[in-house]
Amino acid sequence: MRGNRRLTFLGPGSPLSFPDPNESDDEGLLAVGGDLSPARLLVAYESGVFPWYSAGVPPLWWSPNPRALMDRERLHVSRSLRRTLRSGSFTVTFDRVFTQTISGCAANREGGTWILPEMMLADTQLHQLGHAHSFEVWHEGELAGGLYGVRRDALFAAESMFHVVTDASKVALAVALDTLFRAGFQVFDVQFVTEHLASLGAYEVSRQEYLAQVQDAVSTEVTPASIAAALEGWAARF
């Protein structure tokens, strides 16, 4: 671990840039303050940085070491989940109800949520600009779960997922991974490996490797239309 570096404080009108994450310690807190404007958020994600927002404090900007990724090849689909995916009991859509999906993620988190109104507004603005997307899972005509994240070219930074029907969030994750990599994505970022994500195939890479992958990904164009096309026929692929 490197020694702690001095934090950068971002005041009103600060330049849209962040310190080099490689110069930070493993904890990875780079900067404090600034705003959640679409422009600043997009620069953050393409720089390998993400915001963590809490009530009553300025935005905190992080790039820890290591970072957590998932990909289609390492995705662990259990026999029971595979049966669920093939059963026809769920349908999956793309960008149909982004606002409902992010609201579901905010409302279904144990111990509170970082998806506060300011963060919801910021990510909704990114969605309106075509840089944030949702995968929605439906059961008997009702929204059963989903996943949303931020897209920067061929990078997808998964932010959160939720379910109100058993296995709906797992379906969202499996279908999103399959669809995005078929559409040409190179990086599916989940920030940290949790026990749950590890059981589904999440793995760690060094921050240096992560940043290199991000730079390649943000130089590769992928459009929302290609994602929608890649979603078609997803059930037959499991």
User: In tens digits, what is the pLDDT along the chain, a chain of 238 residues?
Assistant: 444 567 899 998 899 999 999 989 999 999 999 999 999 999 999 999 999 888 888 999 999 999 999 999 999 999 999 999 999 999 999 999 999 999 999 996 666 678 899 999 999 999 999 999 999 999 999 999 999 999 999 999 999 999 999 999 999 999 999 999 999 999 999 999 999 999 999 999 999 999 999 999 999 999 999 999 999 999 999 9
Instruction: Indicate the pTM of the whole model.
Output: 0.94
Contact 134, 95 (CB under 8 A): yes
Distance CA 66, CA 181 (A): 22
DSSP state, 130? Answer: T
Distance CA 238, CA 236 (A): 6
Contact 24, 2 (CB under 8 A): yes
